[in-house]
Structure 1
Amino acid sequence: MNTALKITTFAAALAATFGTAYGVGQGIGPVVADAPPEHGRDHTPPASRPARDDGHAGHDTPPAGGLQISEGGYTLDLATPRVPAGRRTELRFTVRDTEGRAVTAYQREHDKELHLVVASRDLLTYRHLHPTRAADGTWSIPVDLPRAGGYRVFADFTPAERGARNLTLGADLAASGPFRPEELPAPGTRAETNGYQVELAGGLHPGKPSELKLKVSRDGRPVTDLQPYLGAYGHLVALRSGDLAYLHVHPNGAPGDGTTRPGPGISFTATAPSAGSYRLFLDFRHDGKVHTAAFTVRAGAAAGSSTPEGHTDAGHGH
């Protein structure tokens, strides 16, 4: 598991067993705010890219990912741009090359060929999914989005082509039905999910790496037997409020490295591409189930220094 953070946009919910699928098994991970936890996800940071100066962060800040539907010669072709809210529907998509051909060969990263994230524009609903790929390159997974409104789908993958780098492509998804916009939850340092309490220490800083420490407990007792989830004791995704730019963050240390303990603490290093508000989603596995805790943080402020503590979110539902 890489310890570096890579920025990518990411919002997704996809992956269902599809006809003659092979390669990756179906995997549905945590959902925040709307559904109880079940499964999980996994990722690998993008290979280094030329840094760009966006006026908000230093020259060494990686570019944000997931904001483009096409990049590096590959395009995310979302065959299901609209789904009904509150109804289980199969989400289908294909990754195409410059010739319009469906990509059928991928590098496996964190046990999967592709990681899919679906997030609502207000960042209250988040799902990390692992769709199934058919022999013709079509990916599919059933998804049930609880609320109407705009969503962003993120496909995180690395083509098998020699020298290819990791990409996160994004596309808009609409869930039809009565829509009521919600405010971004206030910043806080504590979250609760399915009987677990998670505390956050540290913060995000524009253009500067910083450490984020999370501590997991249940019923007031530290959890010291976290289980590996896609090769790590925890996975952290950060989405920037406003455009859903994706920060791909990886834990410091890995199971079996001789120094990393299975809880209660999980450490990550991340760099924010700009100032602003971000939503953090932590996935962790315990007692055979994956759970997701969510926090709102402001880049440039230490956790807990800006506002109320203690926003809670129900589970995660990859």
Structure 2
Amino acid sequence: MSTPTRVIGFIAALAAIFGITLGAGRLFGPVEATPASAGHDAHASTEPTEPADSAGADHSAHLPGGLQVSQDGYTLRLNHSELAAGPKTPLDFVVEGPEGKPVTAYTPQHEKELHLIAVRRDFSGFQHVHPTRAADGTWSTTLALTPGTWRVFADIAPQGAQPLTLGADVSVAGAYAPAGAPAEDVRTATVDGYTVTLKGDLAPGADSALTLSVSRSGKPVTDLDPYLGAYGHLVALRTGDLAYLHVHPEGHPGDGTTQPGPDITFGAAVPSAGTYRLFLDFQHEGVVRTAAFTVTAGGTNGHQH
């Protein structure tokens, strides 16, 4: 074979290889990550995401809430990661901003600058409280803690930033007997003489409607109290990793259409198939109560209603 012929053949081979590479690029990339849906006034941003930096870009925006202690430059920093058991155990913490200083300015969400959720990792304990912030940015509250590992979630909207949820574990000393979440769906809960039933299903990656109905002594409760600007608050936690969703009901008190019970309808979007533990806070006659449920998304335990 002559030299010109070999050169032409070599160039043709390179072009073929390069063409295949371009084709593979169109087939396999670029891959655009789809942000997980989030509750609590859409914690996941709907803005287009920036291309990832190969030297360590922050992919946290694509994760469900509460899985990370740091996100978007904000960090939940507990003063103590080991606490004592007791009915009023002090908890102090700060949220540090991108400049490494405690955040002192927040945009209120549902009438509060910060919602703190504390849940024992086996789901045997749950609390929704609202700490007090000092001028220096330190938050303080008390929790009723039993021995075991607890996860605390700070649900916030720092001023000028997107809402987000940060999470951190705390260890509580003492004899510990793990309980575990129910293996089957639990759609009826009783608390202090109230019965709450849940209808609807969770569909992975899609918006789902859940309706919770409150009754007492067999009669529908039609005069629920407004609580933090709503007739109910719902927190969903994925078993296994405690991925967090904080969703709120459709409508709000005083809008002319939303009734104060017995039904409270929520829109929720879960990021994956799996089992979720749901906690409903509702207020009646001046007392806040919590009802707990278990719902399987995309599994055989689901129910059609």
Q: Give TM class, smaller chain.
A: 0.7 to 0.9
Q: Indicate conservation of the 8 Å contact 1:188/1:304, yes or no.
A: no
Q: Distance in 2 between matches of 1:268 and 1:225?
A: 18
Map 1:147-226 onto structure 2 (within 5 A): 147-160=146-159, 162=160, 164-185=161-182, 186-226=184-224
Tell me the equivalent position of 1:117. Answer: 117
Q: Distance in 2 between matches of 1:83 and 1:235?
A: 27
Q: Distance in 1 between matches of 2:302 and 2:175?
A: 35
* Stretch of structure 1 that moved more, 132-141 or 176-185: 176-185
Q: Distance in 2 between matches of 1:248 and 1:62?
A: 16
Flag the 1:121–1:214 CA change in 2: closer, same or farther, 3 A.
Answer: same
Q: Indicate conservation of the 8 Å contact 1:202/1:303, yes or no.
A: no
The one-letter code sitting in structure 2 at the alignment partner of 1:81 is: S
Flag the 1:239–1:44 CA change in 2: closer, same or farther, 3 A.
Answer: same
Q: Indicate conservation of the 8 Å contact 1:6/1:248, yes or no.
A: no
Q: Indicate conservation of the 8 Å contact 2:188/2:195, yes or no.
A: yes
Q: Secondary structure at the match of 1:268?
A: strand
How far did residue 300 of structure 1 move?
2.1
The one-letter code sitting in structure 2 at the alignment partner of 1:7 is: A
Q: Cα deviation per residue 1:24-73 (whole Å; 9 max; x = unaligned)? A: xxxxxxxxxxxxxxxxxxx5442525699xxxxxxxx9740110111111
Q: Cα deviation per residue 1:83-117 (whole Å; 9 max; x = unaligned)? A: 11235321000011233211111111211111100
Q: Distance in 1 between matches of 2:270 and 2:303?
A: 17
Flag the 1:51–1:83 CA change in 2: closer, same or farther, 3 A.
Answer: farther
Tell me the equivalent position of 1:256. Answer: 254
TM-score (norm 2): 0.79
Q: Distance in 2 between matches of 1:196 and 1:77?
A: 38
TM-score (norm 1): 0.76
Q: Distance in 2 between matches of 1:178 and 1:187?
A: 29
Q: Distance in 2 between matches of 1:302 and 1:285?
A: 33
Q: Distance in 1 between matches of 2:244 and 2:71?
A: 15
Q: Distance in 2 between matches of 1:218 and 1:87?
A: 28
How far did residue 248 of structure 1 move?
1.8
Map 1:210-289 onto structure 2 (within 5 A): 210-289=208-287
- The CA RMSD measured in Å over matched residues stands at 2.2
Flag the 1:304–1:47 CA change in 2: closer, same or farther, 3 A.
Answer: closer
Q: Indicate conservation of the 8 Å contact 1:62/1:273, yes or no.
A: no
Q: Distance in 2 between matches of 1:282 and 1:260?
A: 18
Tell me the equivalent position of 2:19. Answer: none
Greater RCO (Cα-Cα under 8 Å, separation 6 or more): 1
Tell me the equivalent position of 1:134. Answer: 134
User: Structure 2, unaligned stretches of length 5 or more?
Assistant: 1-35, 50-60
Q: Indicate conservation of the 8 Å contact 2:157/2:163, yes or no.
A: yes
Q: Indicate conservation of the 8 Å contact 1:278/1:298, yes or no.
A: yes
Q: Distance in 2 between matches of 1:109 and 1:291?
A: 20
Runs (4+) off by over 6 Å: none
How far did residue 209 of structure 1 move?
0.9
Q: Indicate conservation of the 8 Å contact 1:7/1:245, yes or no.
A: no
Decide which structure has greater helix share. 2
Flag the 1:302–1:229 CA change in 2: closer, same or farther, 3 A.
Answer: farther
Q: Indicate conservation of the 8 Å contact 1:239/1:247, yes or no.
A: yes
How far did residue 303 of structure 1 move?
7.8
Q: Secondary structure at the match of 1:7?
A: coil
Q: Cα deviation per residue 1:127-147 (whole Å; 9 max; x = unaligned)? A: 0010000111100011221x2
The one-letter code sitting in structure 2 at the alignment partner of 1:184 is: A
Flag the 1:87–1:250 CA change in 2: closer, same or farther, 3 A.
Answer: closer
The one-letter code sitting in structure 2 at the alignment partner of 1:189 is: R
How far did residue 189 of structure 1 move?
1.5
1:7 aligns with 2:38: yes
Map 1:1-150 onto structure 2 (within 5 A): 7=38, 44-46=41-43, 48-49=45-46, 63-145=63-145, 147-150=146-149
How far did residue 184 of structure 1 move?
1.0
How far did residue 121 of structure 1 move?
0.6
User: Structure 1, unaligned stretches of length 5 or more?
Assistant: 9-42, 53-60, 307-318
Percent identity of the aligned residues? 56
